[in-house]
Amino acid sequence: MDDAKRANTTFRDYLRKAADWYRHAYRLRYTIKRVLLMLMVFFIIISICFILIKLLPSKPAEQFGKDKNMVEMRRKALGYDKPLAVQYLIFIQKSLLGGDWGMSEVRYLGSNVWDVFMEKMPATVMVNVYTMLFAVPLGLLLGIYAALKKNKWQDHVISTGVMVFVSVPSYVYAFLVQYFLCYKLQLFDFQIKSGRDFLSWSMFVSMIPAIISLGFGTIAGLARYTRAELTEVLTSEYLLLARTKGLSRSQTTVRHALRNSMVPIFPMILGEFIGIIGGSIIIEQIFGVPGVGALYIESITSTPPDYNMFLLLSAFYTIIGLASGIVVDLSYGFVDPRIRMGSTK
């Protein structure tokens, strides 16, 4: 009797604990909710893309010309003979769940689309990682400096520069960099060097023009944001309190102002870090980076367009965009415990 009762209470305790935990795990709940929502959105988008692509005439099959048999066979091989709904089911089963995105039909004829994609990935990632490594600290420093020197000439210089670099399209700097650094001063080559040694020093040097061109925008954006956030925090009352308590100006700035201003800035940096995998199509094209962006342009400007490649890359860009949005949202809660994402309170 006693045992049974005890067992019962412990079980009930567990239940209560679980319920409590569930109630307090709003962050986990929120995360799961957001991820599920994201997957749903992704699924809808990729379905629309698939259907729109399959509705197009099958150019790769038609290139066999007048030979009806060949065209028919090719259509069959590409799966165009089945009804659209069946094709869609096969697509979900084979590509979305199985990870097999089919063969390239044009440029990389016969090779698996996914393999080509993975082969192009390192160049894009490396260029963008280098960019972030030098752009993020520089952007933060400029922003902090401008905020500390608010309304002095240093601030005006930085703010004007930021305004210019935020507005002017990145390909304009790319041309300037190519013209002055690569042509006039002959410091670098126009295009990055061929080869797959992405971690080597010589590869890094040849990537510098692309890194600089990509970095300007990031630096300017980050500096502007940091300046705005930090000036707001620097004028707040708790900072005045900290000063009255006897902290020095540098102590208040570093310990109080900077940490608080990082709350919105950190998620932004995180979002950019995810976004870097997507890269910048136009910079990759200008500097000949053999990356995903170049692959994307190739897949749509080739005749006929490479549908399988296009579908895979569309899925990739979609998921990158969605994921960076989620990570930014969620990281607010992690950076600042006061922000309770998804909490009802």
Binding site for other proteins (CB under 8 A): 37, 41-42, 44-45, 48-49, 52-53, 55-56, 163-164, 166-169, 171-172, 175, 178-179, 183, 224-225, 227-228, 231-232, 281-282, 285-286, 296-297, 300-301, 305, 310, 314, 317-318, 321-322
Query: Minimum distance from CB of 244 to other proteins (Å)?
Result: 25
Q: How far is the CB of 27 from other proteins (least distance, A)?
A: 21
The secondary structure of residue 245, as a DSSP letter, is: T
Between 7 and 164, whose beta carbon lies closer to other proteins?
164
- Please, what is the minimum distance in Å from the beta carbon of residue 163 to other proteins? 7
- Which of 73, 297 has the CB closer to other proteins? 297
Q: Which is nearer to other proteins, 112 or 318 (CB)?
A: 318
Q: Which is nearer to other proteins, 127 or 286 (CB)?
A: 286
Give residue 327's Cα distance to chain centre. 10
Greatest Cα-to-Cα distance within the chain, rounded to the nearest angstrom: 93
The pair of structure tokens assigned to 280 is 């910048």
Nearest to 187 by CA among 200, 211, 205: 205
Beta strands in 18-161 (DSSP E): none
Q: How far is the CB of 109 from other proteins (least distance, A)?
A: 20
CA quadruple 90, 92, 94, 95: dihedral sign:
positive
d(CA 58, CA 62): 6
CA torsion angle 209 215 216 217 (round to 10) = 130
Residue placing its CB nearer to other proteins in the complex, 55 or 199:
55
Closest distance between other proteins and the C-beta of residue 3, in Å?
Answer: 50
CB 77, min distance to other proteins, A: 22
**What's the Cα-to-Cα distance from 112 to each of 92, 117, 124, rounded to whole Å?**
17, 9, 19
Q: What SS3 class is residue 151?
A: coil
Nearer to other proteins, 77 or 164 (CB): 164
